[in-house]
Structure 1
């Protein structure tokens, strides 16, 4: 007999009709296990392209994971209302010759609007546990959203905002042929991506060749698709790996924390007792291994890798200084844009 008041875990997918959105919707609908502490899952889809979205909805509805219901939202408010996880995929995709900075002028406006709508539809004390930004440029869009929440005094949302950078890790695994030893830290564009390759048999030049393949893997995909798309399939798979972990954290009985690498505000590490390395003292946001608790907020950041990096001239003098200089610029771009939007309200 069905429950009279069924508990529902709601995942909101913004930009579900796009290249990443369609593939990620498929993975979420078909691969998420049955929740342990909820009766069912609602996968709520939204996109401004209503015709394509309707087709995606009908197509996905034939997948027989009956505990996951689909909902097509006609407006953003309905999609965001009482969400547990919000996944942001909307915005302009990369095209040949475009940089992530070019994308910011358009996608920054979209992220600001999304932040305002999240606040309207998820008051303090709501069920919202995670806001994940996949849209580029992650380095600037995450600070933009966090700063917007700060300006509107929604401190309850600040620590729940993450930038999804895991595709860089997947590329690192692929190009090094190693899925365990190496990690990727920093940001999610060009020189801010710092793959930490701990293979003593490789020369610095050989490492740099691999690092550049990882850093510019997205450009390779854009060129290969000849302007007809970007890294949509690999990004959807990468995103699913992250969201499956969050889903397990929030819907299973035994999972109380997860270890994961994401782009997040790291100034809050002082609360956890972590000590930021000196080289990161002026860096507010960084992609770093962290432990996230049941409430969706980081418990700790793992800066142990910096002991290795600061004793390695290749990283300490070549890669990290450039990464940090550029990521600070990206962060400031996002923060200043948020303040500009706030003044215009």
Structure 2
């Protein structure tokens, strides 16, 4: 039995994600939480045939705790999206950290052994923020906290296949490392398996499109929305891989933004990149992230340049999250 709690189920990502989870044979119990709309989403989904249970909760009547109780996986998709209405990623972090801190606190109290999958942006700072809060609450486990960066992998697979014209999506594996922002997303197309069949300016164009894919969606939506449907699909794909691991099908590998130290092979990677949070391929197991699959290996000079840029940006992003959590915890203790 696998129970999934979707926090932010009434939003642009949460609703289509909940639909996909409702249809998945790997999910037995689906608990939807949002401040207002989750019960409506749950009733709507209940009209679709399926063996899975689906329930909706709001903040009333301890709804968050009820949604989290006995959860195996907690999906955090609540908060504002990265749209032109939010003037900077710093402003986005401040807005979403206020939402996520309350969710993290209840998670720590109700289901600290569940896998927490963080989709809320900016992932680069929100994941360290959540980790530091969980450390303060005494329940942190590096292997159970994931920043979901699968959208970058999905874009890499899709855009590279389009550039090659005759390669089907899904026929190759492309790892995307670093973080989840234009400055920190590093597609390792030089290590694509099987190898990429384009090069030069075409390959460079694919890399840029992957890194700035979010802007492409925002512009196509006339600057009034962000990538919601593709994010929902990518999150669903990662969640199904976690479900498979929970059900005993260990060995699946997915890229994710994780706290490296505390995961097998993570210390080596942390020493190599100089930061403790980094998106890397990890092997999933029943207890979470089993191990970091490999080092960065032999990469191109252009990819190394992007990694160097990413590390500089990530140091700042990580410190933003850590400082905010420590500040919150210090005030919380005083209060």
Structure 1 alignment gaps of length 5 or more: 1-7, 36-40
Computed over aligned residues only, the root mean square deviation of the Cα atoms, in angstroms, reads: 2.0
Q: State the partner residue of 1:102.
A: 91
Return the alpha-carbon distance in structure 2 between the equivalents of residues 210 and 34 of structure 1: 33
**Superposed CA offset, 1:52-85 (max 9, x none):** 333322210111112x111112321211122111
Return the alpha-carbon distance in structure 1 between the equivalents of residues 270 and 320 of structure 2: 23
Return the alpha-carbon distance in structure 2 between the equivalents of residues 73 and 181 of structure 1: 38
Contact residue 257 and residue 294 of structure 1 kept, 8 A: no
**Superposed CA offset, 1:246-267 (max 9, x none):** 112213xx51332111110112
Q: State the partner residue of 2:292.
A: 301
Return the alpha-carbon distance in structure 1 between the equivalents of residues 115 and 283 of structure 2: 14
Q: State the partner residue of 2:69.
A: 81
TM-score normalised by structure 1 residue count: 0.85
Return the alpha-carbon distance in structure 1 between the equivalents of residues 261 and 266 of structure 2: 11
Q: State the partner residue of 1:202.
A: 199
Equivalent of 1:217, from 213, 223, 226?
A: 213
Return the alpha-carbon distance in structure 2 between the equivalents of residues 46 and 34 of structure 1: 20
Q: Please show how residues 1-345 of structure 1 align to structure 2 within 5 Å.
A: 8-30=1-23, 32-33=24-25, 41-48=28-35, 50=36, 52-66=37-51, 68-74=52-58, 75-96=63-84, 98-122=87-111, 128-155=113-140, 157-177=141-161, 179=170, 180-198=172-190, 199=196, 202-203=199-200, 205-251=201-247, 254-269=248-263, 271-272=264-265, 275-276=268-269, 278-280=271-273, 282-296=274-288, 298-304=289-295, 306-309=296-299, 312-316=300-304, 318-345=305-332
Contact residue 272 and residue 299 of structure 1 kept, 8 A: no
Q: CA deviation at 1:168?
A: 0.6
Structure 2 alignment gaps of length 5 or more: 162-166, 191-195
Q: Pick closer, same or farther for the CA change 1:77–1:213 going to 2, 3 Å.
A: same
Q: Secondary structure at the match of 2:278?
A: strand
Return the alpha-carbon distance in structure 1 between the equivalents of residues 203 and 22 of structure 2: 39
Return the alpha-carbon distance in structure 2 between the equivalents of residues 274 and 147 of structure 1: 18
Q: Pick closer, same or farther for the CA change 1:34–1:284 going to 2, 3 Å.
A: closer
TM-score normalised by structure 2 residue count: 0.87
Say how many residue pairs are matched.
314
